[in-house]
Amino acid sequence: MRIGFIGLGNMGRHMARHLIHAGHLVTVHDARPEAAAEHLAIGARWVDSPADCARDAEFLITMLPDPRIVEDVLLRGGAAAALPEGALWIDMSTSTPAAAERVAADVLDARGVRRLDAPVSGMARGAEAAALQIFVGGDGDDFRIALPALEAMGDPERVLHVGPLGAGYTVKLMINLLWFSHLVAASEVLAMGVRAGVDLGVLRASLLASPAASHFLEHDIMGVLADGDYDDSFAMALACKDLGLAVDLGRDLGVSTELSALVEQIYRRSKAQHGDLAGEMSPVRLYEALAGREFRLPDPAAAPAGAAATV
């Protein structure tokens, strides 16, 4: 399969590498030419523009930071206009249905270019291990055609067709929104319990034995509790971007977003305090400050280990 791949960042560089190893003919482009060095060494072809990356591709895969850049690459970068008739654009960015619709309305629909939205969860660790979850929106036949390429980048058991165009974007935004909400709620509970004098390990064990147990408390927060790791593989700037997209989507749909908007405010306060490049779990630090101590377990080996699990 001839695949154009645009976006060789923390996630995309691993994803493109897996496609090359799977035997696909991969052409790559990134705003930073040096990002493609490892791909060229194993057989990829470099091109200097998004348009050249799309030209002659059967699939064009984009893995980009936000909807604005997606539109810029597809429209102003010429990738959409360069795609051959009948090609398939697979956007794996965390973006929005509205951004993709603008690209389609401007260029793609009139030329018979098909598209899927296929954002991912699993972070850079999942991308490196080809163990990503992939949530695909679009036509079922297009999904089946793209499946071998998607399975080369993700866990085949967790490459899911979730509905029509736009459903993949929406599912991914809702996953991130709920995970960020779990983080804020759990941090607030731990801060109150510790401030009241309850041992942190006892409090966490009690929560895990109760109906309030969660994957976040059992696994994701262990990076903080065991090692003080706030997961800088996913930056606060990106977390705030995703929260903003989710809140905007809710408002566009007429769904009340009071809780989500508050979570977004807390994340933005943490970003302002800890920096754009701080890890996505940095809001925990706000609650550690309120508790008057860091959240650390004295014997982390006695608790199940885990790592952050969002996008």
Residue pair 266/184 in contact (Cβ under 8 Å)? The answer is yes
From start to end of the chain, where are the E strands?
A: 2-6, 25-29, 45-46, 59-62, 88-91, 114-117, 120-121, 132-137, 154-163
CA distances in angstroms from 38 to 45, 61, 229, 273, listed in the order given: 11, 18, 28, 35
Q: How many CA atoms lie within 13 A of 242 on its CB side?
A: 30
Residue positions counted in the chain: 311
Residue pair 147/159 in contact (Cβ under 8 Å)? The answer is yes
Active-site pick, 172, 204, 271, 285: 172
Q: Per the structure block, which two tokens stand in for 43?
A: 């057989």
* Pairing mode of beta strands 132-137, 120-121: antiparallel
Compute CA 206 distance to the chain's CA centroid, rounded to the nearest angstrom. 31
* Residue 241 is a catalytic residue: no
Active site residues: 172
